[in-house]
């Protein structure tokens, strides 16, 4: 690290000696602190939050100390200093919140003061609601409400345990049976939400030595599910099958299980994943196929049974669905083989460690799945698509840019994020609620308001909404 040169003049040697001792002391100090910080779990946080600042302020930063974890020594040292500073949690919270404000993304929650529906009372104002995922209007449907109330009378409000202890009631079994028939798969496992369904199945399928290949625009719950595993990861460009093949080719023979995972319908653009090509590539390269059908459940395929049915695909390994959107209540499920279901029953962590659905939820989901397969369900499904076509055509005729949507999710792309937010606010003032969406959720120049029509919007609702879009769009010179 340093040498004391005997040939150098005494004064210089003395300085060098002092420097050297200082260096050694610092090195010991640093080494000990690294250990303590690592053990106490503060190491990472300090490195990220405080390290950078200390790095800029302290000359000591360039000191060449130990290099654990391959982190640059200067940053390493910064972290000790940072972590040692008296730390105010409140100051940390202020810093984070202020940073959100500076980026212009701080927001308060809108308050829904009526049931969700085609028209809702939002923040004291009655508006046409174009932002719910209640595609079929089931969230407030009399049959579902009656089933929920009856289930509370019969079964109470809670299940009392996780599924694997004694939280599996007959109605939980019945829902899975019904979903299995609905999805035409060997088995279905129900979880607390679509979010946990993704985490559950990814956590069971992927391990050390496996590879997951994920569409660049996949939902956060897929990304987080993947993060919880030890598998290697790769991303392919959104819906780009040549890029997917490139990744498959580059990794051929290197991993045990390779999983290709995609959203069925993408929530920001309303486009559909090209499952037939994914299935072909998967077969050719020996990969496992997984689709997250949150926005396709109840929307695409026979009786709304999803994208695999929509395309008429014969073999698909894992279909995740949600019960929280078109199905009207809350929950998620994995429709797959009996073997994978059995393994999930033993290994899927949200299944093992979080309480099962309350009876009211299970009963409303059961009622919803029955309804989807009835004449009324067919009618709602048809109405949803008629409304979608009517509204999309109306927006296009007015000259709005609706992107590449193929589903009831129709974005109205205006460009700048701030403009999108202003558009959403003005629409609200004029009587339509359509959420504004800006960077980083979408690209910087692709700011938009996102609309979702439902089966329960009347023609008059949609015509009025189009009028408001026209009026506001013109006044903002968007059309």
* DSSP helix/strand/coil, 293: coil
Residue numbers 67-126 binding ligand PLP by CB under 6 A: none
Set 141, 183, 219, 325: catalytic member: 325
Q: What minimum distance in Å lies between the beta carbon of 264 and ligand PLP?
A: 8
Q: Are the C-beta atoms of 202 and 221 separated by less than 8 Å?
A: no
- 11: which 2 tokens? 């004064």
Q: Is 214 exposed, middle or buried (0-12, 13-18, 19+ CB in 10 A)?
A: buried
Query: Could you give the CA distance from residue 328 to residue 270 in angstroms, rounded to a whole number?
Result: 19
Q: Are the C-beta atoms of 454 and 119 separated by less than 8 Å?
A: no
With residue 413 as reference, give the H or E element that holds it: strand 409-415
By CB under 6 A, tell whether 294 contacts ligand PLP. yes
The binder of ligand PLP chosen from 163, 219, 446, 448 (CB under 6 A) = 219
The binder of ligand PLP chosen from 116, 129, 134, 324 (CB under 6 A) = 324
By CB under 6 A, tell whether 194 contacts ligand PLP. yes
Which residue's C-beta sits nearest to ligand PLP? 194
> Taking contact as CB under 6 A, which single stretch among the options 42-50, 102-110, 291-299, 414-422 is the one that binds ligand PLP?
291-299
Q: Is 121 exposed, middle or buried (0-12, 13-18, 19+ CB in 10 A)?
A: middle
The binder of ligand PLP chosen from 221, 229, 258, 410 (CB under 6 A) = 221
Closest CA to 420 of 398, 378, 391, 451: 451
Query: Could you give the CA distance from residue 354 to residue 356 in angstroms, rounded to a whole number?
Result: 7
With residue 261 as reference, give the H or E element that holds it: strand 258-263
By CB under 6 A, tell whether 144 contacts ligand PLP. no
Q: What minimum distance in Å lies between the beta carbon of 330 and ligand PLP?
A: 6
Set 267, 324, 405, 456: catalytic member: 267
Query: Could you give the CA distance from residue 345 to residue 189 in angstroms, rounded to a whole number?
Result: 8
Give whichever of 263 and 269 is closer to ligand PLP, judged by the CB atom. 263
338-347 and 194-205 helices, crossing angle to 10°:
100
Whether residue 267 lies in the annotated active site: yes
Terminal CA-CA length for the chain: 68
Sign (positive or negative) of CA dihedral 121, 122, 127, 131: negative
> Taking contact as CB under 6 A, which single stretch among the options 118-126, 173-181, 190-198, 377-385 is the one that binds ligand PLP?
190-198
Give whichever of 163 and 357 is closer to ligand PLP, judged by the CB atom. 357
By CB under 6 A, tell whether 295 contacts ligand PLP. yes
Whether residue 295 lies in the annotated active site: yes
By CB under 6 A, tell whether 292 contacts ligand PLP. yes
> Taking contact as CB under 6 A, which single stretch among the options 43-51, 72-80, 192-200, 416-424 is the one that binds ligand PLP?
192-200
Neighbours of 135 (CB within 10 A): 30
> What's the 3-state SS for 58-69?
CHHHHCCCCCHH
The binder of ligand PLP chosen from 306, 332, 408, 436 (CB under 6 A) = 332
The binder of ligand PLP chosen from 214, 267, 309, 402 (CB under 6 A) = 267
Set 295, 357, 381, 446: catalytic member: 295
Give whichever of 211 and 329 is closer to ligand PLP, judged by the CB atom. 329
Q: What minimum distance in Å lies between the beta carbon of 178 and ligand PLP?
A: 18
Query: Could you give the CA distance from residue 251 to residue 192 in angstroms, rounded to a whole number?
Result: 34
By CB under 6 A, tell whether 263 contacts ligand PLP. yes
Catalytic residues: 267, 295, 325
Q: Where on the chain is the footprint of ligand PLP (CB under 6 A)?
A: 193-195, 219, 221, 263, 267, 292, 294-295, 322, 324, 332
């Amino acid at each position: 690290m340093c040498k004391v040169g005997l040939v150098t003049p005494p004064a210089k040697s003395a300085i060098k000696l002092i420097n050297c001792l200082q260096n050694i002391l610092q090195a010991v100090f640093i080494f000990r602190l690294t250990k303590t910080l690592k053990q106490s779990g503060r190491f990472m946080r300090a490195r990220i939050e405080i390290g950078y600042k200390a790095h800029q302020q302290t000359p000591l930063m360039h000191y060449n100390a130990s290099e654990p974890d391959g982190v640059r020594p200067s940053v390493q040292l910064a972290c000790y200093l940072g972590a040692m500073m008296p730390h105010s949690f409140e100051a940390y919270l202020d810093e984070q919140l202020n940073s959100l404000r500076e980026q212009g993304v701080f927001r308060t929650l809108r308050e829904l003061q009526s049931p969700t529906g085609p028209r809702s009372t939002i923040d004291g104002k009655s508006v046409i609601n174009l932002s719910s995922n209640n595609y079929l209007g089931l969230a407030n449907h009399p049959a579902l409400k009656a089933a929920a109330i009856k289930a509370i009378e019969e079964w109470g409000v809670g299940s009392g345990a996780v599924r694997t202890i004694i939280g599996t009631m007959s109605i939980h079994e019945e829902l899975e049976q019904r979903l299995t028939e609905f999805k035409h798969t060997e088995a279905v496992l129900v979880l607390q939400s679509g979010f946990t369904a993704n985490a559950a199945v990814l956590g069971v399928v992927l391990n050390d030595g496996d590879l997951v290949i994920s569409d660049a625009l996949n939902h956060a719950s897929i990304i987080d599910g993947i993060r919880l595993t030890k598998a290697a990861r790769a991303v392919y460009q959104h819906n780009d099958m040549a890029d997917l093949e490139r990744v498959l080719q580059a990794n051929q023979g290197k991993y045990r299980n390779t999983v290709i995972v995609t959203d069925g319908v993408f929530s920001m653009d309303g486009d559909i994943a090209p499952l037939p090509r994914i299935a072909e590539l998967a077969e050719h390269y020996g990969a496992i196929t997984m689709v997250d059908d949150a926005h396709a459940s109840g929307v695409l395929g026979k009786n709304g049974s999803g994208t695999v049915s929509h395309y008429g695909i014969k073999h698909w390994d894992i279909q995740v669905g949600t019960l929280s959107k078109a199905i009207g209540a809350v929950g998620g499920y994995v429709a797959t083989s009996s073997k994978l279901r059995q393994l999930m029953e033993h290994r899927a962590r949200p299944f093992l460690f979080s309480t099962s659905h309350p009876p009211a939820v299970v009963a409303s989901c059961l009622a919803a799945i029955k309804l989807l397969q009835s004449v009324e369900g067919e009618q709602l499904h048809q109405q949803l698509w008629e409304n979608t076509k009517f509204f999309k055509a109306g927006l296009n005729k007015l000259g709005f840019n609706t992107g590449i949507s193929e589903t009831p999710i129709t974005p109205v792309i205006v460009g700048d994020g701030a403009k999108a937010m202003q558009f959403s606010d003005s629409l609200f003032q004029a009587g339509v609620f359509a959420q504004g969406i800006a960077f980083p959720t979408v690209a910087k120049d692709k700011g938009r308001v996102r609309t979702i029509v439902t089966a329960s919007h009347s023609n008059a609702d949609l015509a009025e909404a189009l009028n408001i879009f026209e009026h506001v769009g013109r006044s903002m010179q968007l059309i």
